[in-house]
Chains A and B, each alone.
Chain A
């Protein structure tokens, strides 16, 4: 959408103000996204040569079982019903890693979470797939065909054994520690945009609960770096993103033109007011966003083949499919960080009836994610994008006994699996492992911020260099780049 007279107005404005030194400096500051920054913020330049331009971060809320998805363990079937100390293996609970990676939010006196030592067998079969022969379970038939493009990390750990771990994997901090900005906010803060008419950090499908808002928040980086939730609705994808029905486009253009004209007159009076110049620019962007955001969220031009690829023709897979298709369209249009929540809050949390739960839920995500990967690949988008597929923690190898439980697993922060794929990453690769019982991530494993460091590294950023004055970050916040998964 062009606004011819606004363009003309801009030229007049430059002439009126006699755009001096300040004007030029400001021009550089605003050239990028029309968002005024604190002068101390980063310049939007990468710290090293980036391997990727965008990230799609797919988060499944509630904690999928690493065992029944991407880290199957034959020993669980072999020793089913036995307690940990009745196996030939070292009792994983006695490992010092256990305490290190397991911190309850409730104070010790009131914590009720036990360790469940009775081994619960695998609830699904598994096979080797692809050239790489990576084992994944039978609940992922479609994704199984893509394993040669994926890089599995089977030694991730976190510390919260309850659902605030959902925030922790995004912010790197346990709920009892000082909160930190989310990974998407850091990416937004550190990078320039590729498309000024779309939010740089977009969120699809969530977070679906008020208490998980921190997963997309920017806190002290400033609200302009927080994730912008978009709705799958081409008519109104963004709050206030469309003019009311009572107004015609021509009327709205006139209105924006007058705002521009009056602000331009004010700029003559206040030539040093940088915020005013930024505001003028933000109205131009706002006007364009009314077209660009709905366009990005409008699927009518997608072929039937494509929408089927994402499973949008089937009620079971439609939601995840739409979310992922929106993600692809946003990446295509230059959005830097797309955070996708294909399932609603906590649904993977299978304290009981794990088999029913995971049978059903895997079927809602498997085909859309596989379709998304195929689509991204065939459009060449995987060459420039990183896909992360994760959850907040794994599930206990032991049977959960709480409330007379007989067919579920409890939360398990001590070792779980995520996978990544795309630019700069190894393909058909498995990195790290848990012990034979799937309890502890072996060796140092990777705390969740190692994922952050790796993703940002691929984007050309070094988290240590994004320090904000007066905001102390510790080594654990920065994480370490997982060199072993880099191609």
Chain B
């Protein structure tokens, strides 16, 4: 109401401003919206505060800013008009005050600049609710339910005279909890079994079973992928040219699914996503979790990579909008611009590395950006982050443009905003094991490398064995041709030698390298090094020897060519021979060179032996029990997905400008419970879905007392997300393929192949959503803290006209007919159970029967099935 009045006042021009100006309604809003971020509780530039009458009268370091009764003499007015001084607010902070606003200030001063005596002091941001460590509030008495959720919601409901809706019908509840926990509706058999189970814990048993179902991880992975901005590679898809994310990032998606299924703690998931390489060096299964950071990779500009990491680490885990402090100090929260860069500094050392996977060909190193070279779609190997430059500087810059570096400020050290009462992150460098420094030392990679060398040897041996011995005739020819056949045979033998030497070389270098990184280093390290150095050179010599012999064969062959082709071929072969000889000489010299006696090349790329430990420190700080935010933020996400409405509406902003929790004590209790349980998500799901609040019906006679259903006297109705819709259509038709994991599939195939929807491409470019994703609010991989729910006619068109829906309906109709062996009521009954997970009402049977006619035909039955897929109850989660 207050805001509306103010707006009216502002709209009226100076001419109609006859009545006395109201400080609270007219003046204060101007100060609040235009001045207070620099002259308020967060900052006091020139020691001036304009957020309270007391402070205004106190003035600035330049003296009083108002002279009551004399606007012309008031510094404040001169400042907002920019008379003989810098205009306020400064140009970089936005437009000047409007003439109407200036007029209000002038009149207020002329009228004596009065402020009410009872003006409340502005809230101290350090005391903001979300910045206080959550404490477990006492549980209200158990009345109808022992579940803590009900014990918190009960009294609130009661005090507002709200009567809770009765428990939902068993059929409704079953479908709700299936769609919620595994993302597809129940089978008719599940329905019958559940209806028949009269035991008091039938529902709890069901919940436990669903939480153990591997489909649960897939269902909930998609939720978290929204928040964590999962995206497959993009940039220039149709070139193709990989600019953003990476083609192997799907391994992170699979890690999310698996982690949820094996009930990894939320805190641990966060730690691994930010710093698995520092927490668990060498653990491939965990390090793909850093896909959370790789996803933000941007080939053209590392600043952009950092910007997205800072913004979304803050929003996803802490509910803090660090991005607002990118260009200036945060306007609402105690986050200075310097803190923005301090947060960035935790990530400054990172880069992406591409690692070979066991049993695969070598993917080679991660491809850097080069304007003239396309970045390939590399499907081999895995990607993860590592600290490439542990001491990389973080430069402060202005205006959100990295070209405006303020080098004078020096590199900004990693730090978190000072408002946090918990101890700051403690950074200790992490020593990395040999197998991380040199990938080839990892046992399975080493095995792959040696197996490849062994395979090469086997091939060479086989070729030698298969080479037939020289016939007497050939022996004779050999003399004529300067022994060409014999030379050929010797090449085959030499190849075996070379392959054998290569195998010995690799084995020796692996041993030496392992010893070099071992702690402590073995005493015979020098000997191992010399051995490796010698065998590597011998292998090179054997290779050069092979090349030399092959060159000689080529020379012999060239000399048999007709005149016209002879010269160039002979020249080429001679060159080959000369080069091979030179190489051989070089290697032989090296073998004798004492300076090179311990020198060998590493088997695989060598990475830094130390990681800065910055991300580990940050991740520990974020997931510390002392941090007031992460558990609340996580509980709020989980609550939102169960109830289709969050406890804190501003899901990504728990700061001063965010919304207050609708049930603060419940939120805090759940947050503490969550941490106490080891951040156990399945336990939290169980707690929520077994509450009475969750199990209530979603119908209600009277909603006037709580239109928005903040008190949950009834259950909210949800709408299937795009993925659940597609999965459920396919599931009902018996077509869904439950194969788990693997490289992402193309959206163009999503209506023809039937894997679960989370396995299809997801990226923020055209084609980055499937058709159903486009129409049914599929996630925006740039920003999806909460899914939108739209209802547009194109949805109806897709569900009535698409080839897919016609195909599925026809096939399901045939199947239902054979299962029900009835054309009329029995068919209708089964169709309802299969698609809507409930029996039809009498009126529905009548409507459907009259639609089917007698005896009915396949086409009409298919149409009925399609109608049920279009039923609002199919799309709805009641």
B-contacting residues of A (Cβ < 8 Å)? 22, 34-36, 38, 99, 103, 105-108, 110, 112, 176-179, 207, 209-213, 219-220, 222-224, 228, 238-244, 246-247, 251-252, 254-256, 258-259, 261-263, 265-266, 269-270, 272-273, 275-276, 278-280, 282-283, 285-287, 289-290, 470, 472, 474-475
Contacts and interface: CB of A to CB of B under 8 A. Distances in A.
B800 A252 contact: yes
B806 A244 contact: yes
Contacts of A261: 847
B154 interface: no
Given A179-B782, A210-B237, A279-B872, A254 B790 contact: no
Given A106-B300, A212-B766, A286-B796, 6 more contacts: A209-B238, A219-B782, A223-B792, A247-B806, A252-B800, A270-B698
B847 A262 contact: yes
9 contacts: A34-B791, A176-B307, A207-B766, A258-B864, A263-B871, A266-B872, A275-B717, A286-B795, A470-B657
A178 B323 contact: yes
A176 B304 contact: yes
B296 to A, nearest CB: 13
CB-CB nearest 8 A-B residue pairs: A286-B796, A210-B766, A213-B766, A286-B793, A210-B765, A285-B793, A224-B790, A240-B797
A382 to B, nearest CB: 30
A265 B843 contact: yes
B95 interface: yes
Chain B contact patch, size range: 35 or more
Contact of B300 (A35, A107, A219): A107
Interface in B776-812: 777, 780, 782-783, 788-798, 800-803, 806
Contacts of B690: none
User: Taking each of A103, A282, A289, which has the highest tally of chain B beta carbons within 10 Å of its own beta carbon?
Assistant: A282
A239 B871 contact: no
B749 interface: no
A263 B793 CA distance: 15
User: Taking each of B402, B766, B873, which has the highest tally of chain A beta carbons within 10 Å of its own beta carbon?
Assistant: B766
B303 A239 contact: no
Contact of B790 (A222, A240, A265): A222
Interface in B604-658: 650, 653, 657
Interface string B750-769: 00000000000000011110
Nearest to A220: B783
B49 interface: no
B236 A282 contact: no
A255 B860 CA distance: 9
Contact of B794 (A178, A240, A252, A265): A240
Contacts of A222: 777, 788, 790
A103 B765 CA distance: 22
A240 B801 contact: yes
Contacts of B765: 210-211, 213
Given A35-B790, A259-B871, A275-B876, A106 B801 contact: no
A259 B790 contact: no
B544 to A, nearest CB: 39
Contacts of B95: 475
A105 B300 contact: yes
Interface string B718-753: 010000000000000000000000000000000000
Interface in B830-873: 841, 843-844, 847-848, 851, 859, 863-864, 866-868, 870-873
B55 interface: no
Contacts of A99: 403
A107 B302 contact: yes
A101 to B, nearest CB: 12
What DSSP secondary structure best describes chain A's contact surface? helix
Contacts of A252: 800
Nearest to A272: B703
Contacts of B843: 265
Interface in B391-440: 400-403
A412 B826 CA distance: 71
Nearest to A159: B401
A162 B300 CA distance: 12
Contacts of A103: 401, 403
Contact of A259 (B302, B870, B878): B870
Contacts of A220: 783
Contacts of A176: 301, 303-304, 307
Contacts of A240: 794, 797-798, 800-802
A110 B371 contact: yes
Nearest to A226: B774
Contacts of A290: 797, 801
A223 B792 CA distance: 9
B662 interface: no
Contacts of A287: 796
A251 B867 CA distance: 12
A184 to B, nearest CB: 15
Given A211-B236, A470-B653, A475-B94, A228 B794 contact: yes
Nearest to B852: A258
Contact of B847 (A258, A269, A289): A258
A243 B766 contact: no
B300 A110 contact: yes
A282 B766 contact: no
Nearest to A273: B717
A33 to B, nearest CB: 9
Nearest to B863: A255
Contacts of B800: 240, 243, 252, 255-256, 259, 286
Contacts of A285: 793, 796
Contact of A36 (B699, B768, B790, B872): B790
B300 A210 contact: no
B700 interface: yes
Given A176-B303, A255-B866, A472-B324, A223 B790 contact: yes
Nearest to B311: A178
A210 B490 CA distance: 57
Contacts of A224: 790-792
A9 to B, nearest CB: 11
Contact of A210 (B324, B719, B768): B768
Nearest to A106: B300
Nearest to A37: B790
